[in-house]
Amino acid sequence: DAGVIQSPRHEVTEMGQEVTLRCKPISGHDYLFWYRQTMMRGLELLIYFNNNVPIDDSGMPEDRFSAKMPNASFSTLKIQPSEPRDSAVYFCASSPARISTNEKLFFGSGTQLSVL
């Protein structure tokens, strides 16, 4: 398997523009997670899905953020409108089952987002 695939790797946009980040999880993984990483706040969970259904979106910072998972092989994280404070690395991760003692997260390569 190719692993978790994220696109784009880098995104530079201007404040106010819409940004869409994409993720393809590992085939057969039932859980998909979106994380954001910054120097100040570290790695934060934004939202996660189980079998394409959003389970916990309490980490989504504002209504400007939305995430969808229309099918088992694709998810998007959208920011509209984007702001400079959204600049971060956004990671998508998948897992075959609920995180427990021996299940691990498989991370994608991340999307480096810069909002000017």
**Contact with other proteins (CB under 8 A): which of 1, 28, 42, 62?**
42
Burial of 54 (0-12, 13-18, 19+ CB in 10 A): middle
**37, 9, 86, 48: CA torsion to nearest 10:** -60
Tokens read off for 114? 């810069």
- Kindly tell me which residue out of 30, 45, 66, 78 binds other proteins, with binding defined by CB under 8 A: 45
- Binding to other proteins by residue 25, rule CB under 8 A? no
42: CB partners within 8 A, 6+ apart: none
109 belongs to the binding site for other proteins (CB under 8 A): yes
Among 2, 62, 71, 102, contact with other proteins (rule: CB under 8 A): 102
| Residue span 55-84 as binding mask against other proteins, x where in contact by CB under 8 A, dash where not | -x----------------------------
1 by Cβ neighbours in 10 Å (0-12 / 13-18 / 19+) ranks as exposed
Which residues of this chain interact with other proteins, rule CB under 8 A? 33, 42-45, 48, 56, 91, 99-102, 104-105, 107-110
